Structure 1
Amino acid sequence: ALAAGNCVVLKPSPRTPAVNEVMRKLISEVFAPEYVSFLEGGAETARALLQQRLDYIFFTGSPALGREVMTAAAARLIPLTLELGGKSPCVVDRTADVKIAARRIAWGKFLNAGQTCVAPDYLLVHREIVPELTAEIKLSVSRMFGADPRQSPYYGRLIGNEEVERMRRLMESGEVVFGGETDAAARYVAPTLLRDVAPDSPLMQQEIFGPLLPVLEFDDLEAEVVPFISEREKPLALYYFGERRTGEALFGRVDSGGGGVNDVVLHLANPALPFGGAGGSGMGQYHGRYSFETFSRPRSVLTAPRKSDFTMKYPPYKGFRMIRKLF
């Protein structure tokens, strides 16, 4: 935004006070407030900001808040980008390399204890490989975080106690295969895999944004997976493990903000790729050059010579017949 010539008002989440303190310190050391303003506060601060005459709004958050932001922007015809997350499916076909798929899925899902916008939200696994895949995911979790992830320096915590309680309630929607342990005081929820999850259960109705991974089974990719994903809100990310050609064909049949074939999350890390949502998961794109384009607007300006004039543009339009003959 700054490189594109803008001043910036930055409003962080009120739920991350320690991060905000670091950001406030860094920004105040580098930028004068007339170039970058760092405003903390809750919903009232956000609503007050949305009443201002802004040139552009960039919002990251939930779909519910995204609708509020878009409504406020529409009242003032302010263009905006929305990055809203969503339930990103991960399809594991019977042609997948199960060990590699399990390791990559476990890493992408339990990174930051599942609190990333592009984490695989749920698995759609071919019925033939469900037992093998679940066993390999469990093994991958133990290799990454040890027998007790609570003791691992590499496993994160949830942002608040209320999120631990939300995870507990969501776990009631399925059978725990492994994990399931919680500690509200420590904001800890173990890496958890669940099966026997109904498509209409609470676990499948909201973005999990935590370390719970439901497993749903399928027999036929075209007949079951394609309509299952397509009938829901467009996800921020779509992942497929299996034969490359089949995965690329799936991306042609199912819409999403982005995604990957035989890996997860990493499309977010490539600055040469545009990142953003589609439909309910957001609108607009950013990263690298795309961020510069998001925060800039080409403006056409013509400078005409003062001494010569194109007289044929004036009535009675003499000479137009000659021009038509030439062109």
Structure 2
Amino acid sequence: MNTKRQVSVLVTGGAGYIGSHAVLALKDSGWDVAVIDDLSTGFRFAVPEDVPLYEGDVADTQLLARIFSEHAIGAIMHFAGSIIVPESVAKPLDYYHNNTAKSRTLIEAARRASIRHFLFSSTAATYGVPETQPVGEDAPQRPINPYGWSKLMTEQMLADTAAAAGADDDFNYGALRYFNVTGADPQARTGQSTDGATHLIKVAVEAALGRREGVAIYGSDFDTADGTGVRDYIHVSDLADAHVRTLEALIAQPDRSLTLNCGYGRGFSVREVLDAVDRVAGTRIARREEGRRAGDPAALVADATRIRETLGWTPRHDNLDTIVAHALAWERKLAELRS
């Protein structure tokens, strides 16, 4: 069965960082794609010219119904949402509105249109501060901020919706819990473009190119090899490939839903990341040590066994220097686009 010809995919937030990479992965694999994005944090240039882009809100049910009809949408990849953890603490209701309430509206619209497959951009933040490492999908979910809670609530809505679907009205979902997403498209077609981004490698490559004075190290007294926090960094193109594989699995087995960690199963410390940027960029980034941020665990590393075994997923860019090189190349390309 050629699932690609039978199912068109709507990507919400498809002009944003991860969403735009998912659009490329889908197109490269032969899927028909449409995008909805309000362009509040996304960029029109991140969407290929031959992909229909609807500028609008994922809670606009009339617009959704039109897109569903015009493109015979059979699956949704939902990336639209707010992602800044400290902002979620300061503005919790904004996050519950944008991430949770709007997701509910989107899920309801999908069910009304008999769309049977829904992929959700979730997060390792649903685990809070895990008691053990690496973190498996069955670990307790105890978010410590509204961002994590807003995502966990959407996971629960999807689980309940799937459970309520009848045998002749299949609905399944994939909840993909990201660890630290980074890097950029190897062909420099898209990358992380948001001003004031807080992701470590994005910040570090900006510093390497002279766009920041340096990089803050938040905490140097963790119980890790060099005292700095350890995270599992996954290349955004490997993550996008995981979404395509998850969609294929959902279509192949419509009575099964999937919850999957998205990481490599090993971590790097802040100092190791900065050393890699120095190495790849051929420069020395200024570092300044600051205190720990509230709630930061010493380490956060995925148990990636399930995604590898379930999807046959094999990362192609599991190399820190490669990740940094792609991020650096995109940062230079972005400067050209903005000049």
Which has the greater radius of gyration? 1
Q: Normalised by the size of structure 2, how large is the TM-score?
A: 0.31
Tell me the TM-score normalised to structure 1 length: 0.31
